[in-house]
Structure formats: structure tokens, C-alpha cells
Structure 1
Amino acid sequence: WYGGTRGREVWKSARVPGAKQAAPFIDPGVNTVHADWQPSLSVAAQDWPEGTYLLLLASDTGFSTYVPITVRTGATRGRTVLVNAVTTWQAYNEWGGHNLYNGPRDYGDRSRIVSFDRPYDSTGASTYLNMELPLIAVAERMGLPVSYATDVDLDAEPALFAGATSVMTLGHDEYWSTAMRDNATAIRDAGGNLAFFGANAVNRHIRFGATALGPHRLVICYKSAAEDPMTADNPNESTQDWRLPPDPRPENVLTGTYYQCFPGNAPFVVWDPGAWMFAGTGAQRGSSYKGLVGVEYDRVVRDPAPPQPLQVLSHSPVSCGGKADFANASYYTVPSGAGVFSTGTMRWVCALGTGCGQYLDDGARRFATQVTENVLREFALGPAGKVHPARPNMDEVAPPASR
């Protein structure tokens, strides 16, 4: 937070002579881009405070790019954990001409496996700056006891999260491994609150692989059970959407909401103004907050069934792909006392800052900020469901088929 500047300089190198590195190598068949470069600079970060950092690389020619770094916390007991969604960053990273969505020609030319052993495209940190930093700044401004980790840590280091009061996934956290999902479920079932401050979370099933630099350097996602060679031997680890065969495990079993559509743009419409997270907003049923739903969104659905009791917080009419639909935010609680909150919209975190300017107004930003503060504050105190049990109202917006 740093008084609103959102950062401070902790280190600066001396002038470093540049050198041309080898061209990237593209692994045929899976189109993985590898940048097998030689080190040109070492950065000693042992004395840096835990947190998220951007290393700015600036050349004499005017080119610059960021390298995002997470200095994780050694232990998270009694803290709120802010999780950088680096697997999703990498899925969309098109440096070298390929990512999990596109290749030089089309979708069929996409990567099936992407590597952390390469730079990021664009500014190097666009997803972090727009969909993660604004919420991190709110949590730090509030003075909460926070810890920092990545979703790779959620896969590889479950003990790191022992005793955390809450775990926050941020604006776009789409790509999850089995261990990530199992460990998040275990956190919830031990009383740790979960918050999904986005949409489209836990949508894609991934595996990790190793490179010469170590484990967890490859993100594997064929997006097709028919293409994934793992399907024949271990269908539980086949990499397609979590909700699809051969072993469908829909995301709403964890998140409470179910991914619907892209692109959608609509106001966020309050359904249950008495919900505790709306305290201080002045919201009433039907209160509308401009542009807060989009560009991807989730909905509460009856089939597949989410955990119960589940409280629907918003019910926002939206059109996507020529079809009328609704977006929902939700909150459910479990026997451990944990609460699980989902905004159901990908535009939530950028509403906490200055992003998404063409869609949002000041009223939407104030509303999103107040709700976020309420959730962060209550979730930091321990199992929220013990104080704020979910009030089931799903029948109001998703009535049983027999009715």
C-alpha cells in the first residue's frame, strides 16, 4: 500500500551490459516455447520483506518490461493469504508466439504445455497489475495480517497454508491442478475461509511438469481428453475443463458459482441486501452498480449442485452470446465453520483500482471496495460461518425443476 503509492524501491542494479540470447526453442507436437537463456543478472532478495514485487528491466533504447516476483511468507498461521495466480498468467502468456489459446495460425496451433522458462508478453505484468494488485493494496491498507504465496505453492507446499484464517484467490484464477483443488478443499474443511474475487475460477484442469530448472516449471493443459496422453492411463488427471468427462468435478463444488460465459457486460444487481458483506453500502434489493459484471461471469446453478447452505447475494441480468442470462455472487458455509465467498464476476478486482474505466463509475468502485473490506475483515478473524452462517435462499433464483 505504502500510503497509496502501491510500492517502493527496494533494490536497483548497476548498469548491466546487454547480450543477445539464443532464439526460443519450440517443442514440436505440444508447441511449448522454451527460452534456454544464460543468466545475465543475479538478484539477492533474502532481505526483502515478504510481498509481491515487479522487477523493471529498462534498456537504453526505451524498451522496458516487468518480471513479477513473489517473496512468499514462511508460515501463514493466523493470516490472510493472498495468492498470485501464476498458472493463469502463464496460460495466457503469448511470448514466443504460443500460449494455451493460440499459435501463429489458430487455436489448433496452440500450446498444450507452456513453460515458466520464458519472459512474459506485453508489459510482463498486465494481469497482476489489473486483476491482483488492487486487492492486495486494499488488504495492506487495512493493516490486516497478510501472507503471500502463488498457486504453485498451493500445489507443492500445502503445509505452508496450515492455520491460515483465509485464502484469497484474485481476479482471474482459472487454471488449477488436482493438488491445488484438494489442498484448498482441505483448508476450507479445517476452518479456513476461501474467497474467489473473480469469475471463471477452477475452470481448467492442469498438471505440472519439470524442466532443467526444477519442478513445477511446466503447466500442462491439452484442453481435450482425446488429445491428452494421460487420459488412457490416469483419466483422473486428464486435462480438460474440470466439469467435463472423463472424471467431471465441476468447479462450483468448491467455489459455489458455475462459470457461464464470455463476453458479458452488465450492472451488478443486489439480491440479498441483508447479507453481512453488504453492510455499510446502503444497498437495497435491486440496487444496481454500473458495469461491475463482466467480462466473464459465473452463475449459481442447481445442477451440478453446489454446497449448502448457499446464500445468493446478487442476481444480475446479463446478455452473452445472444442469450439472456444471470450472474450471481454467492456465499456458503460448511460444518468446519469456514465461509466461501464468490463475486461471480471478473471485473471485481479492477473496480478496486482505476482499471476498467470505460465500464465502471465511482458508485460501483465504492460499493466493491466496501464489500471487499467487509469480507477481508471478517474472514481475517477466523471461521466466518460460525458468526455469519449462510442463509439459504437458492430457491428464490434457481427453483427446483418440479416447481
Structure 2
Amino acid sequence: MAEPTRRKVLGLGLVAAAATSCGTRHPAAAPQPTPDAQGTPGTADPTGPQHTGLKGAAPSEQSLPGNPDWRITDPGTPGAVEGFADRVSVLPGETFGLHVSTPAAAFTVSAYRMGWYGGARARLVWRREQVPGGKQAAPHVDQATRTVLTGWQRTLAVDTTGWPEGAYLLRLDAADGSGRSYVPITVRSASTAGKTVVMSAPATWQAYNEWGGYSLYNGPTGTLATRSLRVVFDRPHDYDHGAGRFLVYEAPLIALAEQLGLPLAYTTGIDVAREPGLLHGARAVLSLGHDEYWSPEQRANVVAARDAGTNLAVLGANCCFRRVRFEPTELGPDRTVVCYKDAWAQDPGHQAGAPATTDFRVGPGADPESSMLGVIYDGYPVDAPYVVTSPGHWAFEGTGLAAGASFPHLVGVEYDKVDTAFPTPRPIEVLAHSPVVCEGRRSHSDTAYYTVPSGAGVFATGTMRWVEALDAHGSGVHGIDAPAGDVVRKVTENVLRLFAAGPAGRTHPAQDNLAAVYGTA
């Protein structure tokens, strides 16, 4: 059946990320281009404290001083300065192009590495001031696929020599003070061996991006009938001042992982899809708060890593729900996210033999996501308490919780559950079994853990609010209170530490409890 229209949800301006509603089982003349210029290294904080360690030893990244001024609290006039990078990710030392449009005569671009710096969430790694500005052409829309295209010229070439691996936000500040915005980019790791891999989800950010009036959900009428069938990375993000979904669904987890001092590698789902051997030897892969759009190649490579002993932590819900294909634009490969959804038969790529860009669980080529995740997406929207079922499980160690402990609002706005009507790895253990009512239908959200013969462990939270709750110190995040935030942080720390040590199932095999929880074998 047709997908319902997306709805806005209060709380951090969050756009509800549902794929189906509850109960549904579904199958002008262009200006002169601004000049191109080579970026130059900047200094993080020349007045900050100097860090020295043992003679000849470089200080750790997290020991360096942070820069709290990275935050945009007043974006200014809409469209005053906005841009995009022509690469989703680069290796350290590679150059990418920055495409910026601004009516201001000049702007400043500052590259902030996002992480943990003694409590600060970012460090200034590079800055270029007085970059000549210029207003670029208005976007146009491809009528066949309703794809927003910019055709913007490159404004600045940015050399990442000396940039540490990590997740970055470039901050653009118009020189006249009229506005400011972000541009996300990942400086990815060439190797992940022996590390916990932070796998960013830019394809999902782009699916929800309505810059130019279209996304994979809505068009100008606000209905699915006018949605894009393909979206491109060659445009700014409309959400969170240009940051996409990074600040809501990824930054809190990155800060915690870096605070713990774990060996980390950084990549994106697009890189994992492109490079079959990228996850070789990785200790764990982290899928963050909202990671809905995957290509079959990405999924196959993550499953292969799991089957070779790499742990997988799914710290959200609705993961790996949409099956997509990546195609090039004039700026480079893998710059287009193709997802025809229920219009899959119209897809020329599918007609030429590519897999249908539908939901993974529906035909043609149905492959439910539960075979990888253990849980499966079950509905939207919900707002429900999180209820602990197995307090003695290692994930709850140090929390002091008892069976039935409940934390309001932690389950939402989408949720997953264990459902043996779909392929379900065994043994699987339900740790939290939270009752939900979704548009009148009673169900449950499950936090689950399963292990496989390779020794890998797979942990899935079953709620989309998990990563957001890492920042819950009061009632500001969907009403999630500080005790819930404390529990989420402790459980996440337990999972990250165990998974970073190697195949979790070798020391902590899952103890199947579906018979006790669901009354089924």
C-alpha cells in the first residue's frame, strides 16, 4: 500500500523517521562563478594551552583543547550562506571541493572535528577567511525524477593534509554577519583493523533533505505523489542549519566513544558499500541513531564482517529498511541516492537488471532486515516507556536496575521488535520488552542481543531515541529525564567496551529467552 505522509514531531525539531504507519506490513541567468582558491591550514586555538607528553610523543587528539564556538545558535537570514562538499568522505590529505552560494562579498570557512575534547564537542582544525563570495544559480528540478539539481560551481578547494580522521562540520560564516551554516564531511579511515568503526549514514540524511523543495518523501505539495525518486548530494542540507541529521543521531555517540578512549575508525555507509574489504579485521561496526537507507552492497559487506567475527551495534531503529542504489553525478561517483520505493517498476536501473529500490522486506527480491539485525521495524509513531526485562544481562551491568524498571518516553518515535514471522537469528536474547500502542495496535519494542558462530555479537536498541538520549540530562529531549539518560549512557558504554575487545559471543554468548518473553519456541 502507499506510504503515509511524514509528520513533524516536537523535540529538537526532529522529523519523524517512520517508514510505515503502525499496523502496516508493506510489501534565471547564472551569475559569474566565484573564483576557485586553494585552502590553507589554520590553527585550532593559538592562545590555548600547550599539551606535551613524553619526549617525542605526540599528544592524543582528545587531549587537545576544544572550541565551543563551533555551535550555530543564530543562523541568520535563510540563504545568506549555504553550501555542500563534492565528496561525502575523503582520506586524510585528499582535497575536496566546497560549493558555496552567498550574496555576501566574502565568507569564512572553519573545519571543526567533532568528538570529545574535555567536554567540548569540537576542535577547530582548519580555517580560511575572506573567501570571495557569490550568489550561485537557483536550483532546477529534473521533471522525470523530480530531482533537485544545483549545477553550482566550485568555490574553494580544501586540502585536508594534517586533518585527523573523524566526523567534521565545516562552518560557513558570511563576512557581513548575515548568516551562517554547516557542511558535513567525513575524513575516513583507510583501515579499520582492530578498531570500532563509526559508520555514518549520509544516504539517510539525504533521503530526508528537502532543500530545493523535494526529498524522497515529499514534494512541493507535501505528498508522496510529488516526491523525488532520486536525490543528490550536490545540494546543501535544509535541516539543523545544514548539518543534516548528524547532530541529532550521531554526534552524541561519537562524543561518548571518544570519551571512552576506544580505538575508532571513521567511515560512511557509502564507503562500506564501495569497498568490500574495508571492514576486514574491525572489532565492531556502529550503526547510529537513524540509518534507514542501505544499498545491497553495504548490507552484504556488513554481514560478511559479522560472519568473520566483527560485532555489530545498531543504536537506533528502522535500520537497513530501504534498499537503494548509488549513481554518479557530474561531480563524481556515488553522488545520487536512487529509491523508487513503490514505483520500483518505473526505475530504468531495475529494468536494466539492478535490484529493485524497494523496502528490503518486500519483493521483488525480498530480504527482510531482521536476518542481519535480529529485530525488525514494526511501526510509527509511538511514545512509550522503556521497560527492562533482563536486568542481569551484561549490558545492564552497573545500572542497579531491577526487572520492570521503566523510563518514560525512551521508546519512540519509531521502534523495532523481535518477530519470528521474519528470519530471526538464534540464539537471541530480549533485554527490554516495552509495551507500545501505535495507532490503536498493541505491540512491543525490543532491545535484543544475538550471537553467531563466528563469535560476533549483535546488539540492537529497538528505539530511535537511543543516541539522542545520551544527551538527556533533563526533560529537553522528548521528555526523557536524566535517569534514563544515565542508563542509556551506561548500557552504551558496556556495549562499546565489550565489542571493542573482540568477538563478544566468545565470552558472552546469547541465552535465548524468546519462549519466556513471547511464549514461542
Residues in 2 aligned to 1:91 and 1:149: alpha-carbon distance in whole angstroms: 19
Residues in 2 aligned to 1:160 and 1:239: alpha-carbon distance in whole angstroms: 24
**Equivalence for 1:80:** 196
What's the C-alpha RMSD, in Å, of the aligned pairs? 1.4
Deviation at residue 357 of structure 1 after TM alignment: 2.1
**Equivalence for 1:228:** 347
2:125 is equivalent to residue 18 of structure 1: no
- For the residue of structure 2 that corresponds to 1:330, the secondary structure is strand
Residues in 2 aligned to 1:288 and 1:190: alpha-carbon distance in whole angstroms: 36
Q: Which runs of 5+ in 2 are unaligned?
A: 1-115
The code of the aligned residue for 2:347 comes to D
Deviation at residue 126 of structure 1 after TM alignment: 4.4
Residues in 2 aligned to 1:211 and 1:153: alpha-carbon distance in whole angstroms: 17
Of 264-273 and 197-206, deviating more is 264-273
Residues in 2 aligned to 1:230 and 1:86: alpha-carbon distance in whole angstroms: 22
**Equivalence for 2:369:** 251
Deviations 1:25-79 (A, max 9, x none): 2111111111111111222212101111110111224321100110011211000
Residues in 1 aligned to 2:348 and 2:328: alpha-carbon distance in whole angstroms: 17
Does structure 1 conserve the Cα–Cα contact (< 8 Å) formed by 2:345 and 2:351?
A: no
Q: How does 1:81-120 map to 2 (within 5 A)?
A: 81-105=197-221, 106-120=223-237
- For the residue of structure 1 that corresponds to 2:436, the secondary structure is strand
* Between structures 1 and 2, the one with greater strand share: 2
How many residues are paired up? 400
Deviation at residue 15 of structure 1 after TM alignment: 1.1
Does structure 2 conserve the Cα–Cα contact (< 8 Å) formed by 1:301 and 1:398?
A: no
Deviation at residue 253 of structure 1 after TM alignment: 0.5
The code of the aligned residue for 1:104 comes to P
- Give the percent of matched residue pairs that are identical in Structure 1 and Structure 2: 51
Deviation at residue 261 of structure 1 after TM alignment: 1.1
Deviation at residue 366 of structure 1 after TM alignment: 0.2
Deviation at residue 358 of structure 1 after TM alignment: 3.4
Does structure 2 conserve the Cα–Cα contact (< 8 Å) formed by 1:300 and 1:398?
A: no
Aligned residue among 38, 44, 68 for 2:153: 38
Aligned residue among 326, 330, 346 for 2:464: 346
Aligned residue among 389, 393, 397 for 1:275: 393
Aligned residue among 180, 187, 196 for 1:71: 187
- For the residue of structure 2 that corresponds to 1:102, the secondary structure is coil
Deviation at residue 359 of structure 1 after TM alignment: 2.0
**Equivalence for 1:124:** 242
Does structure 2 conserve the Cα–Cα contact (< 8 Å) formed by 1:84 and 1:132?
A: yes
Residues in 1 aligned to 2:164 and 2:351: alpha-carbon distance in whole angstroms: 46
Of 384-393 and 265-274, deviating more is 265-274
Residues in 2 aligned to 1:233 and 1:244: alpha-carbon distance in whole angstroms: 20
Deviation at residue 320 of structure 1 after TM alignment: 1.1
- For the residue of structure 2 that corresponds to 1:329, the secondary structure is strand
Q: How does 1:192-271 map to 2 (within 5 A)?
A: 192-224=310-342, 225-234=344-353, 237-271=355-389
* Between structures 1 and 2, the one with greater helix share: 1
2:444 is equivalent to residue 331 of structure 1: no
Q: Which runs of 5+ in 1 are unaligned?
A: none
The code of the aligned residue for 1:112 comes to L
Does structure 1 conserve the Cα–Cα contact (< 8 Å) formed by 2:237 and 2:244?
A: no
The code of the aligned residue for 2:186 comes to T
- For the residue of structure 2 that corresponds to 1:42, the secondary structure is strand
Mark the structure with the bigger radius of gyration.
Answer: 2
Does structure 1 conserve the Cα–Cα contact (< 8 Å) formed by 2:138 and 2:150?
A: yes
**Equivalence for 1:3:** 118
**Equivalence for 1:383:** 503
Does structure 2 conserve the Cα–Cα contact (< 8 Å) formed by 1:243 and 1:251?
A: yes
Does structure 2 conserve the Cα–Cα contact (< 8 Å) formed by 1:188 and 1:338?
A: yes
Residues in 2 aligned to 1:357 and 1:338: alpha-carbon distance in whole angstroms: 33
- For the residue of structure 2 that corresponds to 1:9, the secondary structure is strand
Of 57-66 and 383-392, deviating more is 57-66
Q: How does 1:119-198 map to 2 (within 5 A)?
A: 119-122=236-239, 123-198=241-316
Residues in 2 aligned to 1:359 and 1:204: alpha-carbon distance in whole angstroms: 29
Residues in 1 aligned to 2:458 and 2:205: alpha-carbon distance in whole angstroms: 24
Deviation at residue 229 of structure 1 after TM alignment: 3.6
Does structure 2 conserve the Cα–Cα contact (< 8 Å) formed by 1:302 and 1:398?
A: no
Deviations 1:139-166 (A, max 9, x none): 0000000010011111002222110000
Of 299-308 and 330-339, deviating more is 299-308
Q: Relative to structure 1, is the Cα distance of residues 292 and 49 closer, same or farther in structure 2, using a 3 angstrom cutoff? A: same
Deviation at residue 8 of structure 1 after TM alignment: 1.1
Residues in 2 aligned to 1:305 and 1:21: alpha-carbon distance in whole angstroms: 50
Aligned residue among 401, 413, 424 for 1:306: 424
Deviations 1:117-136 (A, max 9, x none): 11111311141101100000
Deviations 1:175-213 (A, max 9, x none): 010100000000000000001000000000001101111
- For the residue of structure 2 that corresponds to 1:160, the secondary structure is coil
Does structure 1 conserve the Cα–Cα contact (< 8 Å) formed by 2:368 and 2:423?
A: no
The code of the aligned residue for 2:512 comes to P
